[in-house]
Amino acid sequence: MEQERVFSGSSSSPNPDARARLNPAHLFPCKVKKAFTTAPPSPALPEGVLHVALSDKVLGVVKVTRGTSRDVTEDLPHAPDGTQAWQAVYPEGSINPGGDTPRGGFGCYLSGPGENLAFEDAEEVVFSYAVLFEPDFDFK
């Protein structure tokens, strides 16, 4: 019996030549029955993947870590054209979104893009994402 999986993801790549292509294996590393992505539409994505906007309303965001921000950005020089991402801010000395100040990053709960891809109906849910730090980011 094939398990039902719900997938979500967005894409960015450290490869400077990535603008011309999207490798769906980065977002969908296993076979999926139902899936959605905020990555730009591409013929390389598996059949049946629903493309959705990167927005709180569409993704069903219901709770966000207080005191953090996550603006949508398209300033992603190493991602395919049209890629949007939530930009997390990490002030100096921050370690997590829920810790003492300064808070860094963000956290949120989301219910997914509509009843057709409801997490409650899934036997297995896989969430994939990419993280890109500025070249001079100081990891301490």
pLDDT of res. 120: 75
Distance of CA 89 to the CA centre of its chain: 16
Strands 70-73 and 85-88: antiparallel
Q: Which segments in the chain show pLDDT lower than 50?
A: 1-20
Count each helix (H run) and each strand (E run) in the chain, helices first.
2, 8
pLDDT of res. 131: 77
pLDDT of res. 22: 64
pLDDT of res. 50: 87
Task: Answer left, alpha or beta for residue 85, where phi above 0 means left and psi between -120 and 50 means alpha.
Answer: beta
CA-CA distance, 109 to 102, in Å (whole number)? 21
